[in-house]
Every structure is written in structure tokens, then in C-alpha cells.
Structure 1
Amino acid sequence: MQKIKSTTVVAIKHGNQIAIGADGQATMGNTVAKSNVRKIRKLQNGKIVTGFAGSTADAFTLIERFDEKLNSYGGNIKRAAIELAKDWRTDRYLRKLEAMMIVADASELLILSGTGDVLEPDHDIATIGSGSMYAQAAALALKKHSSNLSAEEMVKESLGIAADICIYTNHNIIVETLEAAN
């Protein structure tokens, strides 16, 4: 899987909620270029949430393509993700894009990468970006030992922990939620 050195995105499905959050830091090399980038987007009239890590322009291109695939496949998130991954791997222009995405709807949580991967993460926790391993460890511990927290609270706490450790992640956190299908 690609190593994206630029941000942290976390998604957690817990109880009746799916939450996706990201920090707001954009870097150019070792310099903070902007501290409040919005890396979370809602699609399909708020039914689908995406988060991205990597080059902002590349990620916007992928989000647009993903939205087109969603429209082509009636909002079916898994089918749209698979078709985007196929294009991403084979299209000469797309395969040069340096980004990763997490996408979620009420029942699916997926990670998409430029290597053609469409992954359904274990434990209903998805993380991407430079601080992803820190956030994933925190999310696993929170989910295991803090069942009284909501998915949104777990995402915020996981991102906060990652921001304390990863220099490419800051504390300007934005979280979007969806009601999960039971």
C-alpha cells in the first residue's frame, strides 16, 4: 500500500454511527503550507462520506471520479469503489495520482488506494495517511475499552493522539458522521 506523508484520516463504525475525520494540515515538504484544509467530503446528498490523504489536487480528482462512478452505479459504494480502483490502476493519467481515500455509507466502510486495492478494514476501523498507524492503535484501544464513546468521539480522540505524535498531522480536526445501518 502507498505511504502517504501528509495527513491522517480515521473512520470508525461503532454502534449506530459511522464517523470519518481528518486533521487540517497541508504540507509542502517539511513546511506547513496551510493548517485548515477540509479533507472530508459528503457525496450523494450526504449519504456517502469520503476522506482523503495525499496530494490535494489528486484527491479532488479522485473524489470527482468516485462521485461519477457512484452516479453510474446507482450509489452502490462497493461497485463504484471497485470500478474506480480498476480505472486508477489502468488509466495512464490516474495511476500517477498520489492519494488514498476512505469512503463510507450507512453499511460499508472501504479504503481505496492507487495500487488497485479496495479494502474492507478489520474491526470497522479505517486509517490512512502519515499518522494512520498511531490513530489506528488509539482507535483499536478506544473501541475495545471505551464502549460508552460514540464513533465521533473515538475518531476525535484517535486523531488527537496521532496529532501529538505525527509531525504531518495537526489538531484542526473535522469529523462528519452518518447513521449506520444495523
Structure 2
Amino acid sequence: MNDAAIRSTTVLCVRRDGKVALGADGQVSMGNTIVKGSAVKVRKLARGKILAGFAGSAADGLTLCELLEAKLESVGGNFTRACVELAKDWRMDRRYRRLEALMIVADRERSLLLSGTGDVIEAEDGILAIGSGGNYALSAARALLRHSELDARGLVEAGLQIAGEICVFTNHQTTVLDFED
């Protein structure tokens, strides 16, 4: 994935006390220009059973969401297996190999980071982040997890807010989803 493709957003997923929240900022950048501030880069899939967020090319991220839904159907709803199958196809299939995005997906039991190199990563501490401001949001969420009583949604909101204060490719117009929505 080229550097310009990943400088497009911040996506953060947090698990705490049996709850999960996934959020992203709304900024879309092309090079050093902000072209939109209110994009929605997180969504619910599989009739609300899966939360998904992407960083990188919007068209590629949306395609990956569609592919994951198809995989879920083909494996009888087995979340982990569908994610592994998607990552495998993404790496091996010539049609998908050029998709320039990263994904974080979550069900009620686990959160996974998926990449086009075949990565399927589950965080040890329940926090995953991708995109240009991902490391800022990840650091903020980890610190707040240890030193605050915020719930999963509050940690995502605070982490994205802090990332937006540091990363020029991240804004403060966020969308946060959880299974309570």
C-alpha cells in the first residue's frame, strides 16, 4: 500500500468489560488537501452482527466490507473463519491483491485487524487502531484504559479526539458504533 493511501483516516476499536466500540473520524484527504470532513468509515455488517471500519481507499474499503459479508454467508456466519478466508483471498487472488485499505472488524467476542498481506491480528489488550492517526489513538486509548473508568465507547471517543488534535489527516467529526446502537 502506498503512503498516500493510508494517510486518510483514523479508526479505533476498543473492548472493555464485555463491550466493544468502533469509531473513525470523517476526514478524507487527497495528498495534503482535505476534500471532505464528514465521511462515514465505519458500518454494521451481517444484519448488525459485525462492526467494520476501514482506512485507505474508500472504494477498496467498501469492497472489502462486501467481500466480508459474502464470506460470512459462505462459511455459515463463522466470524473468524470468514476473516481468515478474506485475508487469504485478499493476499492470493489477483483481483483483490491491489485493494489499498486496512480493516478492523469486530463481533461480540473478538476484534480483528485485517490486511492485504494476509494479516489477521487480534489485540492482546482489546485495542486496535489503523490509519494515519492510528498510533495516536491507540496510545491514547491504552493510557485511558489503564487510568480511567471510561467504557468502550468513551475510550473510542476520547482516543479519536486526541488523535484529531495531533494528526493533520484526522478531524474531530467522528462516528462511533457499538452493539447497543
Q: Please give the range of the TM-score, normalised by the shorter of the 2 chains.
A: over 0.9
Show structure 1 runs of 5+ residues with no match.
none
* Alpha-carbon shift at residue 16 of structure 1 (Å): 2.7
- Pick aligned residue for 1:46 from 25, 45, 48: 48
- Aligned to 1:27, the other structure's residue is in SS state strand
Measured against aligned partners, the alpha-carbon deviations of 1:16-69 in whole angstroms (never above 9, x if no partner) come to 310000000111111111110100110111111000000000111111001100
The TM-score normalised by the length of structure 1 is 0.94
* Alpha-carbon shift at residue 2 of structure 1 (Å): 7.8
* Residue matched to 2:7: 5
Question: Is 1:30 equivalent to 2:32 in the alignment?
Answer: yes
What is the distance in 2 between the residues matched to 1:112 and 1:14?
21
Moved over 2 A (4+): none
Show structure 2 runs of 5+ residues with no match.
none
The TM-score normalised by the length of structure 2 is 0.95
* Residue matched to 1:154: 155
What is the distance in 2 between the residues matched to 1:32 and 1:161?
19
Superposed CA RMSD: 1.3
What is the distance in 2 between the residues matched to 1:54 and 1:172?
17
- Aligned to 2:125, the other structure's residue is in SS state helix
What is the distance in 2 between the residues matched to 1:2 and 1:9?
18
- Residue 128 of structure 1 aligns with an amino acid whose one-letter code is I
User: Within 5 A, what are the aligned runs for 1:11-160?
Assistant: 11-146=13-148, 148-160=149-161
Paired residues, what number?
A: 178
What is the distance in 1 between the residues matched to 2:85 and 2:142?
30
What is the distance in 1 between the residues matched to 2:170 and 2:122?
24
**Identity rate of aligned residues, in percent?**
53
Measured against aligned partners, the alpha-carbon deviations of 1:79-115 in whole angstroms (never above 9, x if no partner) come to 0000001100011121111000000000010000011
What is the distance in 2 between the residues matched to 1:149 and 1:159?
14
